[in-house]
Structures are given as structure tokens and as C-alpha cells.
Amino acid sequence: MTTGAQNPDDNALAGEYVLGVLPLADRRMVEERMGRDSAFATLVSSWQADLSNLDDAYQPVTPPIGVKARIDARLFAEAAKPAGGLWGSLVFWRGLAFASVAAAAAFGIYSGNFTQQQTPGSTPALVAELGAPGSSIGLIAALDPAYGAFTITPAAFSPEDGKSLELWLVRGEGAPVSLGLVPGDGGRLVLDQNLVRQISDGDLLAVSVEPLGGSPTGVATGPVVLSGALSKK
Amino acid sequence: MRCRRTVKPILTDLMSGETSSNMSQDDLSGLIARIALGDRVAFSSLYSQTSPKLFGVALRILKDRAQAEDAVQEVYVRIWRRAGSFRVGQASAMAWLVTIARNQAIDLIRARQPATLEYDDAPDVADLAPDPEARAVLSSESRRIDGCLAELEADKAAAVVAAYVEGLSYLELAEQYAVPLNTMRTWLRRSLIKLRECMN
């Protein structure tokens, strides 16, 4: 009995697995063996390292903007787990968002029936935590369906001169729909009532950098700098 | 046994490519380490740096944008969950990421194909160990896979590359080369053994 490392059949099997030519049942068998036979697992690793030189053949193609938001929704939407200080804490930002809403109410900014809308059992607001790749900026968008407005907290960042930040609704496979420009200093973003009725739990929001005044074409033209999923909280 | 016929275009494309943008492997390794600690900013940064490559992998293998988008989602969910298993030094960070993407895409297409194939079990390749002299010649060659592929007959080298890059199954390869399934498998396994000898 030769060891795995010297056995040509095992070497060929490890190579076939890494090439990907085997049918599914055989792929699972190979993976099961990798788990219990470290010499064989080493053969697979060697093939992976050697064949990875062929990876240059894969030309990069930028995925559509909704993909990252859907990944975040799957991984992070349900959990408000603090990760990475206050910026990572949905609880913190949600608290801040609601605190600012409450403060606004206390100062009589909203109309009289506001508190009535917020009594227990009423439709809960939808909240999205929008995260930023590679930087620590972020914002919370809280939708109050009764008012047809997003409360944006905080929008403590300013786009470059001559640029605007535009908020998009991303649903399933459909094209993103513009919700309007993010107010420069946070605050409320009032939406068209038809649009409000289309927004539901699980929809995704994204913020892109656009020319001043917003995208001239109706589709996002600049990089997406923030994204996150709406959920009932 | 050496044939140095012109290799199919897919192979020449590849060889002219050289090592692509060695996009700071250290940076990628660092991001993966931070992701293992639950750092979502690092995760977003890794996504923006690597998703075009991994989407390219999924598209090339699945040949369908919607399926490739689904695959990429699955790939990054796996990356988030498995970041702790990445070991610097075992593989380059980009190779590790591409492996995850290839496995996901290949599993998806294999799931739509017969789970088993009626081929003879593991065609014998034991008679293929080259004699000592040939081995000496081979070992002076480049260890890089493309140098060793050039030692194979052109259509056999192209079959190896097409299997890897396009994610072709044995059935698809056999159809493409118009040979019986078992012949295809024997070819490919022998090619693999020759490659291994060349690279060792």
C-alpha cells in the first residue's frame, strides 16, 4: 500500500476534483475523504495551488449593485449584533433615530396625530442600517409609512463639491428606483405615496454618489457608497 | 511523446496573461483575518476589491447572469462564515477566494446534471510514471502549470484548461472531443499524472 502522496490514482482523483470534472456524488465523496485523510487533503491543496495559475483566465465583471445589499441582508439583517463599536451597532443608531423622532415630536415638528400612529400595535416603522464599504460612515433610514417619509439619521457626511447622494430602493431583480436625494444634514426625505406603498420588509436601500441634483438618467450612475436592508424593528 | 503543436486560443490567452495584478495579497489576507473577527467594514472592503473577479468566475462557469449573481451571494456568505479557516501561506488569498467561487459554481451546475456517471472506476494510470531520464528532463522545466501544460499534446492541454476554466464535466468534455466517456477520463487522468510529474 503506497501512501497517498505517491499513489498516482489518488493524485489523479485529487486533480479531477480540483478541475471540477467529477459528478456531484463523486465530489461529495472526495470532500468526505479530505476530511479524514490529511495526506489526500494535501494532494488536493497542491492541485489547487498549481492550477490557481489558470485563474488569470477569469476576466473581472462588476456585479450589479443589488448583490452586496442582498448578501448583507442575508448575513446581517436579522441580527442587531454590535460588531465594531457604535458604528456597527444597529441598536445604537436605531435608538438615535427614534430619539430624534421623539425629540422632533416633542418640539411639535410633526402633526398632532403622530403619537397616535406610534401606539403599540400600529404598523411598525421599517428601519435600514446602511453600511459603507471601507469607511466608518453610515446612516439609519427609518420609514414611517403613515407619513410617507424616511427619517435619515445621521447624514453626517458631505459628498464632494458638485455631487449629490441619491437614495435607491432595490427590490429583487427589478431596476433600482430612486427615492430622492439624501438631505445634506439628515432629516426627512418625503416620498411619493405610490412609492411608499411599494416598500416592504426586506427591501434594500442603497446610496450612490451622483452629479449635483441627482442622476440625470434615472439609474444610478455613480459608485454605491452605502447599502442595507429594511426590516421591522 | 512531446507534441508542441499550437495550443488552442484559450491557452495562449492564458499564457500571455502572466501573473495578473498581484492585488496586494497581504491586504487581502489582512481583510480576511479581520472578517474572521466579525469586522463588517473589512467584509465590505473585501467585497469591493474582489467581487468583480469572483463574479467573473461564476459567469464564466454558469454562463447565466442571474445564476452567477446567486452564486456570488452564496460565495460571500461562505467567505464571511469560513474566514477563520483561511491560513496565510497555504494559498494566496485570491486563490483561496477563487477556489470558493469555483466550487460554488461547479456544485451548482453539477447539481443539475446526473449525480453519478457510468464510467469505469478510476482508469488505471499507474503505468505512467516516467522513466528516470525523462523525469530529470522534466524536473529542469518550470514548475508553473503553463510550462507543464505545454509538454502535453495540445488538445489534451486544452481539455485540462477548459475543464478548469469553464467548469466542464466529463460528459461535456467527451461530447466536445467526440470520444467515449471512459476514453475522455483516461486522457484527462493521464494528463493530470504527467502534469504532476512535471511540476514536482
DSSP 8-state class, residue A216: S
Whether ipTM > 0.90 holds is no
What is residue B50's predicted lDDT score, i.e. its pLDDT?
A: 97
CA-CA distance, B170 to B181, in Å (whole number)? 7
Would the CB atoms of B125 and A88 count as touching at under 8 Å? no
pLDDT in tens, A169-228: 877 656 678 888 887 666 778 887 788 888 888 888 887 777 888 888 777 776 667 777
What is residue A108's predicted lDDT score, i.e. its pLDDT?
A: 35
What is residue B162's predicted lDDT score, i.e. its pLDDT?
A: 93
CB A97 within 8 A of CB A127: yes
Strands (E), chain A: 126-131, 138-144, 149-153, 163-170, 177-181, 187-190, 204-211, 224-232
Q: DSSP string of A117-144?
A: HTSTTSPPPEEEEEE-TTSS-EEEEEEE
Q: Using DSSP bridges, classify how beta strands A138-144 and A177-181 pair: parallel, antiparallel or unpaired.
A: unpaired
Q: Is B73 on the interface with A (CB under 8 A)?
A: yes
CB B107 within 8 A of CB B172: no
Helices B154-166 and B40-62, packing angle to 10 deg: 130
pLDDT in tens, B45-63: 999 999 999 999 999 999 9
CB B117 within 8 A of CB B139: no
Q: Is B24 on the interface with A (CB under 8 A)?
A: no
Would the CB atoms of B98 and A52 count as touching at under 8 Å? yes
pTM: 0.58
CA neighbor of B94 nearest in space, from B26, B39, B162, B33: B26
Q: Is B27 on the interface with A (CB under 8 A)?
A: no
Nearest to A16 among B56, B114, B188 (CB): B188
The secondary structure element, H or E, covering residue A33 is helix A24-36
Question: Which of A61, A130, A173, A208 is the best substitution to test chain B (most B C-beta atoms within 10 A)?
Answer: A61
The secondary structure element, H or E, covering residue A4 is none
- pLDDT of B11 over the 60 cut: no
Would the CB atoms of B128 and A15 count as touching at under 8 Å? no
